[in-house]
Every structure is written in structure tokens, then in C-alpha cells.
Amino acid sequence: MNQTTSTYGMGINMTENTNLPSSAAVANKALLSSLRKMKSEMVKRNNEKNEYKRRAEMMELRLLQNAAEQAAQQDLERDKEREKRRRKKEQDKEKVGGTNEAQKQEKKIIAKK
């Protein structure tokens, strides 16, 4: 009687031959057992690799997010500085314009007299 055992994706189908002499049957079972252990070890390593990849991707995403937040903060600070300079410039214009307006009004008053 033959019993077929798949090793789940390793591409190897092993047949456990129960008609073999006892020493060969023991060796066949030992081989199947070691193949199953190798397969489980490969699955475990693959899962670990996937976990490392996932962690690396998460770290990369965090770094990208931090960089984006820093860039946004810098843009906000730049905009504040620009607005500050624009207001100061307007205030300076108003001061100069206000002085000129007062002088113009005085000249008009003097001209009317």
C-alpha cells in the first residue's frame, strides 16, 4: 500500500511506501518527517521576512509622514513671515501716505485762503 504526502508547495510529492523493508520504511518516514520540518521552517522564515518587510514599510511611511509634516510646518512658517513682511510694508506705506495726505490737505487749505 502506498500513501502520498504533499509537502505543500515545495513541488515534491513523496510516497510513503509501506511495502518497503522495515529499514527502508523507517528511512522513508524519517525523510518525510525532515521534509515537513524543513517546510515548516521555510514557512516560519518566510513569515519572519514578511514581518521585517512590513516593519520596514511602516518605518518608511512614518519617515515620509514626518518629512511631510516638517515641510508643511516650514511652509506655514514661511507664509507667516511673508504675511508679517507684507503687513509691515503696508504700514510703512500708510505712514508715508498718511504724512503726504496731511501735507496735501494743508496745501489745499492754504491754497483756498
pLDDT, residue 1, reads 46
Task: List per-residue pLDDT tens for the chain, 113 residues long.
Answer: 455 555 555 555 555 555 656 787 788 888 999 999 999 999 999 999 999 999 999 999 999 999 999 999 999 999 999 999 999 988 887 776 555 666 777 777 777 76
Radius of gyration of the chain (CA): 42
User: Per-domain residue ranges for the chain?
Assistant: 2-112
pLDDT, residue 36, reads 94
